[in-house]
């Protein structure tokens, strides 16, 4: 295994655009070197943001670290890119069952079985789900762990905590903090932000952002760049991305330095689409 890692690392170093990062990330994951595997996966995603296998690898690593909300987000993206991605469908089924949504878990397993009817692990997982036992984890060996599904919280998407479904970003990574939607006057419409010390700074940041969209529009007009669609910036302790879901609303996405700007832009695109749909429903 060590020789495999060295060989794959050397191959990736020679060609950073190579898809060998998928094999290297998996090899590191199996060795238990999750932090190193995560770096490989994130770098690979930055170069190949539309590769379903890259999102699947990242999701499995996040699940290994019990970051289930973020893992859900990645598997969901993989299925959006490749609806027949078996690993992502099984991963989503596992996470849905984990929060007690048996119907969604079964539906995702049935979808996987349609694409891979001869896969015995899918049939096994379906039997376990219907019998009330946890299906095989997509990152570990199968486990027949009983689950009291009646007492488990139902949710449309697995989260680290209970989400208020009235929230704009319910179900997205950072729904509880790290995403803020505000109107043109700087009034908070949804989401939350916290400082590194844990203080709620949502309203203060929103006030500072009032007028940013007008300034951005003026700047790109002066430079002849057309219409602005997003602004990204790196900070000492984190990265930010600002987008405009509509002409009357602004979106701020904040993440720590471990999330590269390319990945941040992808998260912002998803949050922007969610915010736009939410704003349309409010009209």
Q: What is the spatial distance between Cα 163 and Cα 48, in angstroms, rounded to a whole number?
A: 31
Q: What is the pLDDT of residue 170?
A: 66
pLDDT tens digits, residue range 70-106?
Answer: 899 999 999 999 999 999 999 999 888 887 788 888 9
Question: Is the CA virtual torsion 265, 266, 269, 275 positive or negative?
Answer: negative
User: Does the pLDDT at position 144 exceed 60?
Assistant: no
Question: How many CB atoms sit inside 10 A of residue 277's CB?
Answer: 11
Beta-bridge partner residues of 104: none
Categorize the per-residue pLDDT at 110 as very low, low, confident or very high, splitting at 50, 70 and 90: very high
N- to C-terminal Cα distance for the chain? 57
Domain boundaries 165-282, corresponding CATH code: 3.30.450.30
SS3 per-residue string spanning the chain:
CHHHHHHHHHHHHHCCCCCHHHHHHHHHHHCCCHHHHHHHHHHHHHHCCCCHHHHHHHHHHHHHCCCHHHHHHHHHHHHHHCCCCHHHHHHHHHHHHHCCCHHHHHHHHHHHHHHCCCCHHHHHHHHHHHCCECCCCCCCCCCCCECCHHHCCCCCCCCCCCCCCCCCCCCCCCCCCCEEEEECCCCEEEEECECCCCCECHHHHHHHHCCHHHHHHHHHHHHCCCCCCEEEEECCCEEEEEEEEECCEEEEEEEECCCCHHHHHHHHHHHHHHHHHHHHHHC
- pTM of the model as a whole: 0.52
- All structural domains of the chain with their residue ranges: 2-149, 165-282
- Nearest Cα neighbor of 268 from 237, 242, 236, 250 is 242
Count the alpha carbons within 13 Å of 88 in the hemisphere toward its beta carbon. 22
pLDDT tens digits, residue range 222-269?
Answer: 888 777 777 888 887 788 888 888 877 888 888 877 777 777 777 788
What mean pLDDT is predicted for residues 43-67? 91
Q: What is the spatial distance between Cα 121 and Cα 201, in angstroms, rounded to a whole number?
A: 47
User: Does the pLDDT at position 54 exceed 90?
Assistant: yes
Domain boundaries 2-149, corresponding CATH code: 1.25.40.10
* Beta strand pairing call for 230-234 and 179-183: unpaired
Q: What is the spatial distance between Cα 29 and Cα 169, in angstroms, rounded to a whole number?
A: 30
Q: What is the spatial distance between Cα 128 and Cα 122, in angstroms, rounded to a whole number?
A: 10
């Amino acid at each position: 295994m060590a020789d495999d890692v060295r060989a794959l690392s050397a191959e990736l170093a020679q060609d950073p655009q190579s898809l060998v990062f998928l094999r290297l990330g998996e090899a590191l994951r199996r060795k238990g070197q999750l932090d190193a595997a995560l770096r490989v996966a994130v770098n690979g995603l930055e170069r190949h943001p539309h590769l379903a296998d890259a999102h699947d690898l990242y999701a499995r690593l996040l699940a290994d670290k019990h970051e289930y909300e973020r893992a859900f987000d990645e598997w969901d993206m993989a299925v959006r890119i490749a609806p027949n991605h078996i690993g992502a469908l099984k991963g989503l089924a596992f996470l849905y069952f984990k929060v007690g949504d048996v119907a969604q878990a079964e539906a995702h397993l049935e979808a996987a079985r349609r694409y891979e009817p001869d896969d015995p692990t899918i049939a096994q997982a379906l039997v376990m789900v219907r019998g009330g036992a946890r299906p095989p984890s997509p990152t570990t060996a199968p486990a027949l762990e009983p689950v009291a599904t009646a007492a488990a919280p139902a949710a449309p998407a697995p989260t680290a905590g209970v989400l208020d479904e009235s929230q704009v970003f319910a179900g997205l990574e950072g729904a509880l903090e790290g995403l803020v939607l505000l109107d043109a006057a700087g009034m908070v419409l949804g989401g939350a932000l916290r400082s590194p010390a844990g203080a709620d700074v949502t309203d203060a940041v929103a006030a500072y952002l009032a007028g940013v969209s007008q300034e951005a529009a003026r700047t790109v007009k002066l430079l002849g760049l057309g219409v602005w669609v997003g602004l990204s910036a790196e900070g000492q302790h984190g990265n930010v991305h600002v987008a405009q879901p509509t002409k009357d609303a602004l979106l701020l996405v904040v993440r720590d330095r471990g999330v590269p700007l390319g990945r941040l832009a992808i998260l912002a695109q998803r949050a922007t689409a969610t915010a736009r749909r939410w704003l349309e429903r409010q009209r």
